[in-house]
Homo-oligomer: A and B are copies of this chain.
Amino acid sequence: MRSSLSRRGLLGGIAATGAWTATGALPGAASAASKGRAGELPSAVDVVVVGAGISGLVAAREVAARGRSVVVLEARDRVGGRVLNHELADGSVIEAGGAFVGPTQDHVLGLCDELGIQTFKEHTAGNSVYFSRGIRQTYQGTVPPDPLVLPDAGRLQLQLDEMSKDVPVDAPWLAAKAAEWDSTSLHDWVAQNTVNPDTAKLLEVYLQPLLGADARDVSLLFMLWYVATAGNEQNPGTFERSSGTENGAQDSRIVGGSQLIPLRMAEQLGDIVALSAPVRRIEQLADRAVVTTDRGQVSATRVIVAAPPPLIAQIDWAPLLPPKRLQLLQRHFMGALMKCDAVYEKPFWREKGLNGFGISDARRCGWPSTTAPPTGAPACCWPSSAAPPGPTGGTGRPRSAGRACWRGSRGCSARRRSTRSTTPSRTGRTNAGPTAARWPIPAWGRRTGSGTRSVGRSAASTGRGPRPRPTGPATWTVRSVRASVPRPR
């Protein structure tokens, strides 16, 4: 049952030395990682990791750093999962998936440090734009200055912050009012706690791209937990921190694009990562698990499944996962969200005193957001659009909705180079959906063990360095999935 991999010693050595000293661009990283392990898979390792997103790669590094043999089995032909660099015509990159990092996201920031990856501040100088009832206003700060909604919105925000302090990040079901909060949709709670219906409308438009779901799709408990996760040991999570730009979750971006994080890890891991190896079956024998992929079988003493719930449900488990676990997997669904990129030669909106962020109550397009590489050119705007299936929520046509929204903001049709939608927004064979898993109302399966904890954290805050904190999401994934593999009886 020992490793047939040759590089584990090397990798363990690398990890033990602490910082990985690559800096700046990493030529060839993408192509190396897109090739991955060539030839046959090892027949036996200590640990198989399913999924080469940030969580899976972090798990594999940690296993390797402890001197165990490990192989990462990835269904796609690339690493990164919902983090994907989108290359522009001039070779610079923009993120097609998760993009931002913020000051309390210590795990991913620690991982960046260790990988020699730099961040830069998102451009915030200038005004944001607010469209409501056909009227365009500019503003600064988080909440648009609509005099009709400002008091309501401010009060809601404070309430969310206050209530979220009672929600343990690693066990939200233990909050004193968990059952009550979990029985109420965020939509209903907002409606019951606002005076002006427009406040609810605005908040939902704001939340939709944030959550990848309608406010009626998630429980109040989910939202409070989401806010709570925006903190760290020193700072409580706040709504502002979970959604804001400066000092918030959209504070900074990655030089070289966020996919550089998994690309660097894959580069370090080398042939530990096997691409185009979709896992079809996981069979638990008396002394080991046998993992069947389209590239052959690997046996292991542990299997870590770092994949989204709908894809975990598609694995042919033998013996089956417990019925309650299967039912829990059925109840988890991915968010719905897409970005459209409109690429310009330069961020011309800055000349007009705009920072590039906008919010519209047209509902089909919550956040037209602009962004640019550190050099400022070429610049992109991405009208985001959340489009869950539902009678009032999704449009079913996020791309055209995004375009319409952008057109509505005027003055941007000049100098556009290209418009394209981004891959991670597609739900597909190896991609359960564009954003992390939601759960229906009610959310938490108290008796289903740690598996419930592997969901809901944004990709940007998933990864971390070699010693994850107990509450860290990467730890959750690792733990939860170990628990999901039935032990020999």
Contacts and interface: CB of A to CB of B under 8 A. Distances in A.
Interface of A: 173, 178-179, 182-185, 187-188, 214, 216-217, 310, 313-314, 316-317, 320, 323-324, 326-328, 330-331, 333-334, 336, 387-394, 396, 426-429, 432-433, 440-448
Given A184-B188, A334-B327, A179 B392 contact: yes
Contact of A441 (B185, B314, B336): B185
A390 B334 contact: no
Contact of A330 (B426, B432, B442): B432
Contacts of A428: 320, 323, 326
Contacts of A185: 183-185, 188, 441
A265 to B, nearest CB: 28
Contacts of A313: 310, 313-314
Contacts of A331: 333, 389, 440
B336 A333 contact: no
B330 A183 contact: no
A333 B188 contact: no
Given A179-B392, A330-B427, A330-B432, 15 more contacts: A178-B391, A182-B390, A183-B188, A183-B216, A185-B441, A216-B441, A320-B429, A323-B427, A324-B394, A326-B428, A327-B388, A328-B389, A390-B443, A391-B443, A440-B441
A393 B442 contact: yes
A173 B324 CA distance: 31
A189 B343 CA distance: 47
B426 A323 contact: yes
A448 B390 CA distance: 9
8 contacts: A178-B391, A179-B391, A183-B187, A310-B330, A320-B428, A389-B445, A389-B447, A396-B448
Contact of A314 (B178, B314, B387): B314
B444 A391 contact: yes
B442 A440 contact: no
Contacts of A444: 390-391
A405 to B, nearest CB: 19
Contacts of A446: 390-391
Contact of A217 (B314, B326, B387, B441): B441
Contacts of A216: 182-183, 441-442
A445 to B, nearest CB: 4
A330 B327 contact: no
A427 B183 contact: no
Nearest to A336: B327
7 smallest beta-carbon distances between A and B, as pairs: A440-B440, A389-B445, A396-B447, A330-B333, A390-B442, A323-B427, A179-B392
A182 B391 contact: yes
A427 B390 contact: no
B327 A427 contact: yes
A448 B324 CA distance: 29
B440 A217 contact: yes
A327 B320 contact: no
A448 B183 contact: no
A331 B331 CA distance: 7
A117 to B, nearest CB: 31
A323 B443 CA distance: 24
Nearest to A180: B392
Interface centre among A390, A396, A427, by most chain B C-beta atoms within 10 angstroms, is A390
Contact of A433 (B187, B314, B330, B441): B330
Contacts of A316: 429
Nearest to A393: B442
| Interface-centre pick from A328, A392, A442 (highest chain B CB count, 10 A) | A442
Nearest to A447: B396
A441 B185 CA distance: 9
A448 B314 CA distance: 22
Contacts of A188: 183-185, 188
B323 A334 contact: no
Contacts of A388: 327
A327 B214 contact: no
Contacts of A441: 185, 216-217, 440-441
Nearest to A219: B216
Contacts of A330: 310, 333-334, 427, 432-433
A445 B390 contact: yes
A448 B327 contact: no
| Residue among A188, A216, A389, A444 with the highest chain B CB neighbour number at 10 A | A389
